[in-house]
Amino acid sequence: MSSGILEVPKGASFTKFNTQHQQKWEDPSSTSDYSTRIEPPFQAFNQTSQTQSLLLCNNQIKVPMQDGSVNDLLQASKIQDWDPSAMLNNLSFLGQKIHQLQDLVYLIIGRKGQVLGRPDELLVQQQQLVTADLTSIIVQLISTAGGLLPSVKQTLSAATTSLGQCGEFGGVVFPSSAQGLNDGVQPQNAGGSKVSEPPNSVDITSNNGNEQSNHIIEEHELKDEEDAEEGENLLPGTYEILQLEKEEILAPHTHFCTICGKGFKRDANLRMHMRGHGDEYKTPGALAKPTKESSSEPTIIKRYSCPYAGCKRNKDHKKFQPLKTILCVKNHYKRTHCDKSYICSRCNTKKFSVIADLKTHEKHCGKDKWLCSCGTTFSRKDKLFGHITLFQGHTPAIPSDEIKAAPAGTSDGATNKVGSVNFNLSYVSSESEVQSSSMDIKGGIDDAVGYFSPLSFDTCNFGGFHEFPRPPFDDSESSFAFLLSRSCNYSQKSGEE
Amino acid sequence: MLSFQSSKNVLSLTEDLLVRIYELLAAESDRKSFRLVCREFRRIDTLTRRHLRVIRIEFLPILLRKYPRLQSLDLSACPRIDDGVVSLLLTRVGPGSNSPILGHWAWGLKSLVLSRATGLRFSGLEMLARACPCLESVDVSYCCGFGDREAAALSSAVGLRELNMDKCLQLTDVGLAKIAVGCSKLEKLSLKWCMEMTDLGIDLLCKKCVDLKYLDVSYLKVTNESLHSIASLLKLEVLGLMACPLIDDVGLQFIERGCPSLKVIDVSRCEGVSSSGLIFVVRGHRNLRELNAGYCLSELSTALLHQMKNLNHLEVIRIDGARISETSFQVISANCKSLVEIGLSKCLGVTNMGIMRLVSACINLRVLNLTCCHSITDAAISAIAYSCRSLVCLKVESCNMITEKGLCQLGSFCLLLEEIDLTDCCGVNDKGLEYLSRCSELSCLKLGLCTNISNKGLSYICFNCLKIHELDLYRCTGIGDDGLEALSNGCKKLRKLNLSYCNEVSDRGLGYIGRLEELSDLEMRALHKITGVGLEAVAVGCKRLADLDMKHCEKVGDSGFWALAYYSKNLRQINLSYCGISDMALCMVMGNLSRLQEAKLVHLSNCTVEGVELALRACCVRIKKVKLFAPLRFMLSSEILEILHARGCIIRWD
């Protein structure tokens, strides 16, 4: 597949943003426009007429500057952004609905007082009606609020399918046209800007059914896009599959200067570079993002396939799961099918194939002192214990350096001990010749001159012993000489340490 | 003890009959006599013996070879055991080099007591855990060096059901996690004083070892989080939370809703727990058998009392240190009819009337602790004696108003009484002891500070209470040599005796003490009349002597210490402070007593620094704890101090 195909979605997606940005740079008055977009919740309290006039004024400024198609597009997206009159309609409708429901419930309460405990078919039906109405009110309320708050968008996308079924409100709530919808459906590329993303994703998805809903998420999560799309249920055939070649994926640059041939990672950087090649590249039109050719016809959703045969992300795989963007493809291919060439300079163990992953790791490297037996490290003890709780058979690992340190410190003492005990035990086993052998063994074990030096026998007077008969329960260890010699042996050795 | 007149009778008994006879012998001393009868008897002993407690590590290899069917091995008395010994025991090759006895003893072993085995480290424990496939119970309490690595080694014993890790100071959550994951069948676990433990470890434990029935986390710095985890244990029956400073009533609320099998709970000395916390516990567990709430309640509130009405199965209650009203006793006795033990030590408001109401219904009471309930008189004691005929233990320390009348009632009705603490009861006199001596089952009698008793009173006790094994005569200045003579004639089973400050006792008295063969603990501080002769008699006679305190016995000369060094082979603890021992004798004592672990050597006026140094050198391989005169810190050679430190010996400077 050639890079020509690659260009198509990018150009298309840039069109809208480009025009808008340009508008802002050139016209200071459009800052008000900007504010309406950024802070939709505040708008809710403003006068509807005022906002509308603002919008109108914006449009008037734009008209002479842009050609017709772009203007149409802009207007469409404006209306779609936030329509206070529609909102008002919506709210009043909701109010009516709630009042109706209130009356119904009053009625039910009145009946209950009259005929207590009688299973009434009518009552059951009314209850069902109430619940159904309540559900629809809730859903509608959420969607109305969701139109205002960009942060609610994600949760809304799940609720929209049921909204679509409600049907009856569709026309009231979402006055957007199919034309406006297509703007949002464009696959994002790496240069996509969040500011320009309209807060109208709800509208789109509700009208288009389950065609596509998650496209906003992928923009927020540059790194985890592979996981994020797990929930996506695109029917095979409803999207176009593109597959890049390995060389294309791994190429450091995707944009090349047509004059000098220099490569760039981003189109914007290329355009900045182009300015150096002459004044014709400095015009606003040349510096603007390339626009979409035509946004009037619905764009086919594009998904990407990994060129690696047998990979789950390869289109020939039985359970093929497509990748959403080119960035996804690049990261996926590098992570899964390439060598991990970036090694952490701190720990020298962790390897990565994507440099961003290495940077993320380096932020935390060294802090992970909690280690599981499976090799996973954690920066916090409670995280490790949570992990151990979850996985059968995993235990916290005791750091290996401790193992080395522990015997090293006591090795001398330990061997010493073993030696002495060994001596002791062998001595005991030859029980029959206790007294006679004790001196022999002692002599045999150590001939060192200073053996008894710390506690010479001369200082001890054994004369006192003769006063007492041998105890009847005499055991093998009763020999004083043996005991003292052993203890001295120890002190002697440890003194040499 | 068995005695056989004719060898024919002995031989005519078949092996299974001999085994039966052997199994009927309860006391260890009787079994010893049995196996000394003849070879055949000794063979029976070796074949049937299941439990072994080793006193001297030197005999361990022989003993293990001799008793192949051991199920339980207690090594707590030989703290010198270390990794080297274990490896020798397990890999030891017999006289025939490929004999099948290679670690054979370990195969059937189920219980292993390694308490205080500070020398044992992970390699030794790992060998043991691998060699004993049937291991079910391990006790490593007071092994100060026991840490995470040791726990990891022990966790390879997957069949472990009981584990005691009290005072394993190095143990952290990581070690506990090793145990929890490795030994998931654990049913009984004690973690007292494992100060490094936190909520994380306890939480993991509760998730991995769901069969836990007994858990003791006393003295730990765990919080209510741990109680939240513990509440999920469905089989837990016994929960020890003694002196956990960070738990409070909120935590006990978790217990109310969890632990459906809970029967015993101990929250004594928990600063944060109040009666509302106990209300939670009592409300959630109607089947509670034992409630220990000593020193955490200021008052037994009516709300708590109201909840306690439902505890019909309660057997043991201890509310030491709380204020209690007379009506409370009425409520308790009316509802908790199965009470067996009541602890009211240092309670305020305990009166005669209250006790009378209490015992009127609690007729099954076996243990009653009324320590420091000063307003108790003979009336209460009489009521107790009359109602609780099965009373076994009564503690009335510092109840000054008790006289011979009360003891008379006890002697008349409580014939099962085994233990009575009359310390500091000035009202006790010879007559009282005469009445008390009718309790012939008495085994523990404490008469400390009872200055009104004399030899005569003691002789009544000695004549009738032959089962006494613990007697406290601290500062009973009326007791002299004659009393001890009676003691040596009657109480042959005496194991523990306190004679401190009984000034009248002389060498003759100690001569009688020497006849007590079972004596293991002897405290005889400040007996100014005794000399070396007396000590020699004790040393020669009391072969089992393990703990000797002879502080301030200034007249005892070297001859006594020589004897001590020569005969008292089983001595483990000794206090020689303020004694007139010489350098030479000290050296002999410390060097020759091969089981000595703890020595207090303060203010030895006849000893030089060199003498102490030599003595320490002589015992440095085995001593665990030593108390020394503080200035010696700078006079003793650094070498010996380093050796002691390296050996894990704790030095206390006084």
With an 8 Å Cβ cutoff, is A428 touching chain B? Answer: yes
Nearest CA in chain A to B623: A487
A residues 431-490 lying closer than 8 A (beta carbon) to B:
431, 454-455, 459-461, 464-465, 467-468, 471, 473, 475-478, 480, 483-484, 486-488, 490
pLDDT of residue A146: 66
Q: How far apart are CA A170 and CA B386, in angstroms?
A: 90
How many angstroms from the chain centroid is the CA of residue B37? 32
Question: How many beta-carbon pairs under 8 angstroms link A with B?
Answer: 135
Q: What is the mean pLDDT of residues A455-465?
A: 38
Of A385, A455, A471, the CB nearest to B618: A455
pLDDT tops 80 at residue A281: yes
Domain residue ranges in chain B = 10-46, 545-653
C-beta atoms of B61 and A429 within 8 A = yes
C-beta atoms of B58 and A422 within 8 A = no
Residues of chain A with pLDDT > 90, as a percent, come to 2
pLDDT of residue A68: 43
At the second CATH level, the architecture of B545-653 is Alpha-Beta Horseshoe (3.80)
For residue B183, list chain A residues with Cβ-Cβ distance below 8 A.
none
Of A395, A429, A454, the CB nearest to B181: A395
Q: Give the relative orientation of helices B558-567 and B583-592 as an angle to the nearest 10 degrees.
A: 10
C-beta atoms of B119 and A429 within 8 A = no
For residue B569, list chain A residues with Cβ-Cβ distance below 8 A.
471, 473, 475, 478
Ranges of residues in chain B with a pLDDT under 50 are 1-2, 4, 93-100
For residue A402, list chain B residues with Cβ-Cβ distance below 8 A.
149
C-beta atoms of A494 and B207 within 8 A = no
pLDDT of residue B34: 87
C-beta atoms of A477 and B618 within 8 A = no
B572 closest CA partner among B597, B544, B599, B600? B597
Contacts of B26 (CB under 8 A, 6+ apart): none
C-beta atoms of A460 and B588 within 8 A = yes
Three-state DSSP state, A352: strand
C-beta atoms of A490 and B621 within 8 A = yes
C-beta atoms of B155 and A395 within 8 A = yes
Q: How far apart are CA B472 and CA A437, in angstroms?
A: 46
pLDDT tops 50 at residue A212: no
pLDDT tops 60 at residue A196: no
pLDDT of residue B8: 61
CATH topology of domain B10-46: Monooxygenase (1.20.1280)
**pLDDT higher for B418 or A62?**
B418
Q: Give the relative orientation of helices B583-592 and A480-496 as an angle to the nearest 10 degrees.
A: 90
Task: Chain B: give the shortest CA distance to residue A393, in Å.
Answer: 6
Tell me: the pLDDT tens digits for B621-630?
Answer: 888 899 999 9
C-beta atoms of B82 and A428 within 8 A = no
Task: Chain A: give the shortest CA distance to residue B272, in Å.
Answer: 25
Task: Chain A: give the shortest CA distance to residue B122, in Å.
Answer: 10
Of B155, B174, B562, the CB nearest to A464: B562
C-beta atoms of B82 and A454 within 8 A = no
Q: Which tokens is A111 given? A: 């009946």
Tell me: the pLDDT tens digits for A217-264?
Answer: 333 334 444 444 445 667 777 788 888 888 888 888 878 888 888 888
DSSP A239-255: EEEEE--HHHHH-S-SE
C-beta atoms of A487 and B592 within 8 A = no
pLDDT band per the 50, 70, 90 thresholds, residue A287: confident
Would you say B326 and B349 are in contact if contact means Cβ atoms under 8 Å apart? yes
Q: Which tokens is A304 given? A: 């990407």
pLDDT tops 80 at residue A168: no
Which range among A77-91, A153-167, A314-328, B487-501 has the greatest average pLDDT?
A: B487-501
Would you say B452 and B477 are in contact if contact means Cβ atoms under 8 Å apart? no
Would you say A205 and A215 are in contact if contact means Cβ atoms under 8 Å apart? no
Q: What is the mean pLDDT of residues A24-34?
A: 42
pLDDT of residue A330: 86
Region label for B310, one of left (φ > 0), alpha (ψ between -120 and 50) or beta (otherwise): alpha
C-beta atoms of A475 and B559 within 8 A = no
Of B173, B204, B591, the CB nearest to A484: B591
Contacts of A252 (CB under 8 A, 6+ apart): A263, A265
pLDDT band per the 50, 70, 90 thresholds, residue A450: very low
DSSP A11-34: HHHHHHHHHHHHHHHH-GGGHHHH
C-beta atoms of A413 and B155 within 8 A = no
C-beta atoms of A421 and B82 within 8 A = yes
Please give the DSSP secondary-structure letter assigned to residue B26: -
Task: Chain A: give the shortest CA distance to residue B89, in Å.
Answer: 10
Q: What is the pTM of this model?
A: 0.63
For residue B570, what are the CA distances in angstroms to A473, A474, B522, B564, B626? Answer: 11, 12, 13, 10, 18
For residue B152, list chain A residues with Cβ-Cβ distance below 8 A.
395, 398
What's the start-to-end Cα distance of chain B, in Å?
Answer: 48
Q: How far apart are CA B91 and CA B84, in angstroms?
A: 11
Q: How far apart are CA A7 and CA A128, in angstroms?
A: 54
Tell me: the pLDDT tens digits for A422-434?
Answer: 333 333 333 333 3
Nearest CA in chain B to A410: B646
For residue A114, what are the CA distances in angstroms to A103, A127, B186? Answer: 17, 17, 62
Q: How far apart are CA B267 and CA B277, in angstroms?
A: 10
What ipTM was estimated for this complex? 0.83
